[in-house]
């Protein structure tokens, strides 16, 4: 039976290729244990949409969303007291939890985990015994699981996407570590959606012994790096965000591939923390609405640099087999280091839960302001800018 599209809204498709790359031993063992049918090949590829307008119809209307973190006990005592060790990896971003299995979390612990991820941006769990089905079920707790129209996924489990660099290298050509920077581009997942990604859960079952680290940067702290006057300029501005994949325009198919585009706030507020975060990424933020291209490019390139070049607001994580990372795409960007060769495969499964329509609230505080750790000069400057902004709004 030929692969089908993920939605009846998709009319015209391109039949996917057949993959023959052998699975890493650890991956095969995990999938077999979970009862995944590998007899028809791996991974499963849905039939790829051909035209842009078909893809716009997928999740084209706003859906109800309640952030799990808003239900949580602010102390997170149910989650944290059950762990054997909790370690903040840096001041601004990243926490590792030991002694818990994600598949066994109670409803209360899941909600508290969502809040912890919102506060710390990314949370890590090593030595996880979790099947793709359990990973999907946990993702559904955090929101609607995104089913990608063309990304390969685990057979029989739409929404559990495959992260397999060796497979991607077959499609894209030369090993990525030969490219400038030796890494993927800094990005946040699914920014082109009407309701973009909230929590993403990546579980890596096969990891090279050296290399393959992933880096995350804090959107809360990137925003706080900006001067109060510059924050005031950015607050309320919107930008156009585009998809990673492109499609043909049905009305002008010879015009070349086009990306899905949607407009969202440049600075957004997280519904669980109420804190402001800078929300741009070099890979998929295209332009600032209302500015000339030269102005937009100048500002965006500066904002990208603030995110990418300030190592004090970043965490670099070294994977071990069967580790899970859960991060919040609303308040962070990430990047993968491709500094390893094909002798040591890297393979993981990823589930992304979609969140709210992004919004901005001028009354929202920064993270430091909410936590009461602003110094006197910062507070005075912020009060002055806030007063000016309120006068403008009134």
Question: What does the alpha-carbon distance between residue 288 and residue 263 come to, in Å, rounded to a whole number?
Answer: 9
Nearest to 87 by CA among 78, 79, 97: 97
C-beta neighbour count of 233 within 10 angstroms: 13
> Does the annotation count 189 as an active-site position?
yes
Catalytic residue, candidates 203, 262, 334, 368: 334
Burial level of 11, CB count in 10 A (0-12/13-18/19+)?
A: middle
Catalytic residue, candidates 187, 201, 242, 268: 187
Catalytic residue, candidates 45, 350, 367, 368: 350
CA 300 to chain centre: 19
Catalytic residue, candidates 54, 67, 189, 205: 189
> Does the annotation count 187 as an active-site position?
yes
Question: What does the alpha-carbon distance between residue 274 and residue 12 come to, in Å, rounded to a whole number?
Answer: 42
> Does the annotation count 390 as an active-site position?
no
Sheet hosting strand 323-328, strand order edge to edge:
85-88, 95-98, 122-125, 323-328, 197-206, 347-354, 161-163
Question: What does the alpha-carbon distance between residue 286 and residue 363 come to, in Å, rounded to a whole number?
Answer: 27
User: Which residues are part of the catalytic machinery?
Assistant: 187, 189, 334, 350
């Amino acid at each position: 039976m030929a692969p089908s599209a993920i939605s009846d809204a998709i009319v015209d498709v391109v039949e996917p290729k057949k993959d023959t790359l052998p699975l890493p031993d650890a991956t095969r063992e995990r999938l077999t244990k979970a009862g995944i049918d590998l007899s028809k090949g791996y991974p499963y590829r849905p039939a790829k949409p051909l035209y842009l307008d078909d893809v716009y119809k997928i999740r084209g209307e706003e859906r109800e969303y309640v952030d799990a973190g808003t239900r949580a006990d602010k102390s997170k005592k149910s989650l944290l007291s059950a762990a054997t060790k909790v370690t903040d990896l840096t001041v601004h971003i990243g926490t590792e939890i030991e002694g818990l299995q994600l598949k066994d979390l109670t409803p209360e612990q899941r909600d508290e985990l969502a809040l912890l991820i919102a506060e710390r941006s990314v949370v890590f769990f090593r030595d996880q015994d979790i099947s793709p089905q359990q990973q999907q079920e946990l993702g559904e707790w955090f929101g609607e699981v995104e089913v990608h129209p063309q990304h390969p996924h685990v057979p029989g489990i739409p929404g559990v996407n495959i992260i397999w660099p060796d497979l991607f290298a077959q499609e894209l050509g030369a090993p990525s570590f030969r490219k400038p920077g030796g890494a993927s581009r800094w990005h946040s997942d699914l920014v082109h959606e009407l309701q973009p990604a909230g929590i993403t859960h990546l579980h890596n079952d096969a990891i090279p012994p050296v290399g393959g680290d992933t880096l995350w940067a804090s959107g809360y702290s990137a925003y706080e790096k900006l001067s109060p006057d510059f924050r005031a300029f950015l607050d309320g501005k919107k930008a156009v965000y585009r998809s990673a994949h492109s499609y043909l325009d049905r009305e002008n198919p010879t015009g070349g591939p086009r990306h899905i585009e949607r407009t969202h706030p440049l600075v957004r507020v997280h519904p669980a923390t109420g804190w402001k975060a800078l929300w741009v990424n070099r890979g998929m933020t295209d332009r600032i609405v209302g500015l000339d291209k030269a102005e937009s490019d100048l500002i965006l390139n500066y904002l990208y640099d603030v995110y990418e070049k300030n190592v004090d607001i970043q965490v670099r994580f070294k994977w071990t087999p069967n580790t899970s990372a859960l991060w919040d795409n609303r308040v962070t960007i990430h990047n993968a280091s491709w500094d390893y060769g094909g002798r040591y495969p890297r393979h993981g499964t990823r589930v992304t839960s979609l969140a709210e329509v992004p919004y901005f609230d001028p009354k929202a505080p920064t993270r430091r302001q909410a936590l009461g750790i602003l110094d006197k000069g910062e507070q005075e400057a912020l009060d002055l800018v806030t007063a000016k902004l309120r006068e403008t709004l009134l």
